[in-house]
Structure 1
């Protein structure tokens, strides 16, 4: 049975956003169905994200929020930290790309307007002008 992104997040004890970032970056593979929902093979998910033990949700939430030296899941936290660093690097690259585009547009020569622009005539002006001429 394959996981949806939400089910995969619960099975690995991480957020759904982390799952979708991992899918988009290629860290784990999955497919989108006709409705656009992700389907992920459990073996593929747990290759990267270890499964959460069958314990009460309060227990693993407390473990995930504890300092790294108090948990045995430092590898998971380090991977999540690395993914956040990569997302930050991607955001910085995107920001720099938009900055370069803005610089090029601000340096571009201004579009010259004609010396004597033709006056814009409204509907009634054109109507009465045609009737006279």
Structure 2
């Protein structure tokens, strides 16, 4: 009986000890929209977001999460992007933004990528604030 109690105590301690780590990992994945806005400054050379955004060198990024690749109206996408079959979610965006040409060979996007996961978390938090019309939504 004593061995069972020690085993149960060890397992409970292991689970409880991991709880803060899991919570920290979840918090890290949410990102900081204010930090993401600063990261987005480098994206502004080609992309716009928000109310009144227009296509530029790159397409408008309003409502990017959930959108099919190559479909923002009025933007002239590469065949590679139009035919990639991607629907942007957090996973595909993370893969793409780390190395656009590796994720979609033949893309017109000339960008070396964002390699740091925390910066990507923050950038995603910023982008996810904007719905398809460019209005900021609360998360």
Structure number having the greater helix percentage: 1
Larger Rg: 1
Same fold (TM over 0.5): no
TM-score (norm 1): 0.24
TM-score (norm 2): 0.23
**Higher RCO, 1 vs 2 (CA within 8 Å, ≥6 residues apart):** 2
